[in-house]
Structure 1
């Protein structure tokens, strides 16, 4: 088996708050979806709010239903950050077969609903004050996406916002930008999903970075794998398939790549959030099993990530399944992730890559906590003014 663990290992262990479990509470309900479409300006998110008299030890929840995974975070504010008190993640492959049929299959929807039922049960056991749940590329593209959203509401009580690609990019940036290396000039943040990939050029500095440019393409690890087709045996066939993946992604990002050339500086910074980058980072560290604390905040030489990507692309599915942190769930999808990652590193050739095991869910939580704090301050000021007037 090929050695894919380059020796250089430099990482940042900061910003990993831990929390305690909270007592059980009555179930939290959510509201109707916003009905956003891809490319539209983000609509005001519809969130469920617990009545004021029950706001004790406030908890906030975020659910991200993607093309490949269903993820949940429940957290409480802690100073300028938050402490996670419950979490859940499951591979559901909601977008399986979508590239061929433009519809969500019954089997895929069943898997997603099963995972969301687990999320709903966790919400029932926590003191959730505000909650927001989002669905991304698979539901944006599927002809039966709206019907699936209604089914989820009926069977789980969870109501999903189908967010635009622009909102998806914004939330990913908001969730992980604090892991960017210090530096001068614009930086690039990317999110490789199951059904799409977002690239965002930002101006860092301040609590919220300013988005200078962004692009979303319909290539994620599931959609790219299914479009290019199954692997054929033999080194030449694998090389040809990988090259085809790289070309599809590069062509889709061509206009964006040309636009951001002028923003490149001698001190390029690149940060990625996705299962692809965390998996490759685990291989870089030669971990026997995935360890979020070791990976989140890791800084890896870009050459090491390229080397790992190219070696994985030459392996057979059986060889990849034997590798720690890949296994059966990622063996057939990781090559597409590698093709997307290498293309991104071509567009923004930073010498190092920051790795984030955080993204959309954390962005949702930060948005909820921030907006709620502003609302509470406004209500307090109004109440004070009324008392003074009285």
Structure 2
């Protein structure tokens, strides 16, 4: 990296939208220039129907526009946007995504709950001393709660639960006034049930210290310090019990006046308190310390990790996540590597020939689809495409947004299924056609084809030229089954030329 550049990061949450603007400098450091936060209540009255309200979308678009303009005043070369619980659960999420794109030019990346937990871990780790201890991290958002376990080197577990301060408050605290014992106990029961079977796997991690983040936890820590003293930035379970009794006994207007509680958070603080109290009880936590770091800071840390010059092992988070999934499924790594090589050769040569205009981003997705195309084979050979699709869609691949994961999965599935893509039909069609060719070129799994190129051949045809070392009979046979898919993707007939490499 030869010079610094400014980058902006926007975390589009359920309750608030956060902005960080900073300078990326040598050696892979981030210098903060500006940070902002606006409460927009994107998830207001969403939960249950999973529909974002029009007024909530309006507020989110307005803040995104303001943050985009602010980033431009800092000459931000890039603006990275992620959306979490409220957006990923909304059936009308495309309305928000499209409006933000049309009115601000920003592209929203909707991330999974587990990816949110990973970013939370990265954000906390990047600015918090873990004291060489395995640490349990808790982040209570508006719509979901993320838990991570890890140390200063790496995480060992990531979890996301559909319990958030806004979600529980709206579900059990209809009038936002005094919360009786019955309603509060229902909140805690709901939280405990949501954590459910994951509790045992979390307990097995044997952490030594606990750190909590998010507005809910920071507010409660401030309230605790003002009311009971002790060490600032900590919450004891014994004090939390007393605070919960106080907060739920007060009507909303009185709750707004409690020292340490942000008035804008007063209507959902009881729901957040119920979640934290449940977690501390479930895992036997007597005390935790707090941090103001979270997803937004994790976005910065992840951005730096993805930069090749900042990578310590030469492998990005995305590559490592895909490789881990492939290994766990027992894929034939030699075959997968050959298919990746051939798929990328076909992508590059067909692009050079003017057969498509896909970008390097789509090229990378093809690489991962090629690596994972047989992920479902260990379940059933005959239905391996369907199984691979399901595995990829549900594996919570880290470093990807939901759209990217869908394209990877659909590129694998569409090799054998005539289905309409749910995200980008033409992209999926082209990637699946190239992947099908690449897989056929290693049908024998003997790495016979040493090079492949795909080029225009007149106005209505294309020619696939390959160099082989050894018997390519199975490869030729497999390629015959690719013609229809190829014609549909490129509107061209396919001619095939395979020659034997000259012996040295």
TM-score of the aligned structures, taking structure 2 as reference length: 0.57
Alignment of structure 1 residues 213-228 onto 2, 5 Å: 213-228=157-172
Asked if residue 326 in structure 1 is aligned to residue 261 in structure 2, the reply is yes
Indicate the residue corresponding to 1:336 in structure 2. 271
| CA–CA distance in structure 2, aligned partners of residues 325 and 158 of structure 1 | 35
| CA–CA distance in structure 2, aligned partners of residues 115 and 278 of structure 1 | 23
Alignment of structure 1 residues 75-154 onto 2, 5 Å: 75-77=22-24, 81-154=29-102
Aligned to 1:76, what secondary structure does the other structure show?
strand
- For residue 16 of structure 2, the aligned residue among 63, 69, 77 is 69
* Distance of aligned partners of 1:195 and 1:365 in 2 relative to their CA distance in 1, 3 Å threshold: same
| CA–CA distance in structure 2, aligned partners of residues 327 and 282 of structure 1 | 10
* Distance of aligned partners of 1:375 and 1:233 in 2 relative to their CA distance in 1, 3 Å threshold: closer
| CA–CA distance in structure 2, aligned partners of residues 140 and 232 of structure 1 | 26
Asked if residue 245 in structure 1 is aligned to residue 245 in structure 2, the reply is no
Aligned to 1:358, what secondary structure does the other structure show?
coil
| Conserved? CA contact 1:310–1:338, under 8 Å | no
| CA–CA distance in structure 2, aligned partners of residues 60 and 80 of structure 1 | 13
* Distance of aligned partners of 1:99 and 1:300 in 2 relative to their CA distance in 1, 3 Å threshold: closer
Structure showing greater relative contact order (alpha-carbon pairs closer than 8 Å, 6 or more residues apart): 1
| Conserved? CA contact 1:173–1:189, under 8 Å | yes
Per the TM alignment, residue 310 of structure 1 is displaced from its structure 2 partner at its CA by: 3.3
* Distance of aligned partners of 1:110 and 1:323 in 2 relative to their CA distance in 1, 3 Å threshold: same
| CA–CA distance in structure 2, aligned partners of residues 218 and 376 of structure 1 | 33
Per the TM alignment, residue 76 of structure 1 is displaced from its structure 2 partner at its CA by: 2.2
Per the TM alignment, residue 109 of structure 1 is displaced from its structure 2 partner at its CA by: 0.6
| CA–CA distance in structure 2, aligned partners of residues 254 and 376 of structure 1 | 37
- For residue 305 of structure 2, the aligned residue among 345, 351, 370 is 370
Per the TM alignment, residue 259 of structure 1 is displaced from its structure 2 partner at its CA by: 2.1
Asked if residue 59 in structure 1 is aligned to residue 6 in structure 2, the reply is yes
Alignment of structure 1 residues 13-28 onto 2, 5 Å: none
| CA–CA distance in structure 2, aligned partners of residues 255 and 190 of structure 1 | 17
* Distance of aligned partners of 1:149 and 1:125 in 2 relative to their CA distance in 1, 3 Å threshold: same
Per the TM alignment, residue 158 of structure 1 is displaced from its structure 2 partner at its CA by: 1.2
| Conserved? CA contact 1:188–1:201, under 8 Å | yes
| Conserved? CA contact 1:231–1:238, under 8 Å | no
Q: Unmatched 5+ residue regions in structure 2?
A: 315-504
Asked if residue 200 in structure 1 is aligned to residue 144 in structure 2, the reply is no
TM-score of the aligned structures, taking structure 1 as reference length: 0.72
Per the TM alignment, residue 181 of structure 1 is displaced from its structure 2 partner at its CA by: 4.4
Per the TM alignment, residue 73 of structure 1 is displaced from its structure 2 partner at its CA by: 0.4
Q: Unmatched 5+ residue regions in structure 1?
A: 1-51, 288-293, 379-390
Aligned to 1:198, what secondary structure does the other structure show?
strand
Indicate the residue corresponding to 2:128 in structure 1. 179
| CA–CA distance in structure 2, aligned partners of residues 310 and 374 of structure 1 | 52
Per the TM alignment, residue 282 of structure 1 is displaced from its structure 2 partner at its CA by: 1.7
Root-mean-square deviation over aligned CA pairs? 2.6
| Larger-Rg structure | 2
| CA–CA distance in structure 2, aligned partners of residues 302 and 367 of structure 1 | 33
* CA offset digits 1:258-313 (Å, max 9, x no partner): 22333336xx31111111011112212329xxxxxx97xx3443433343233222
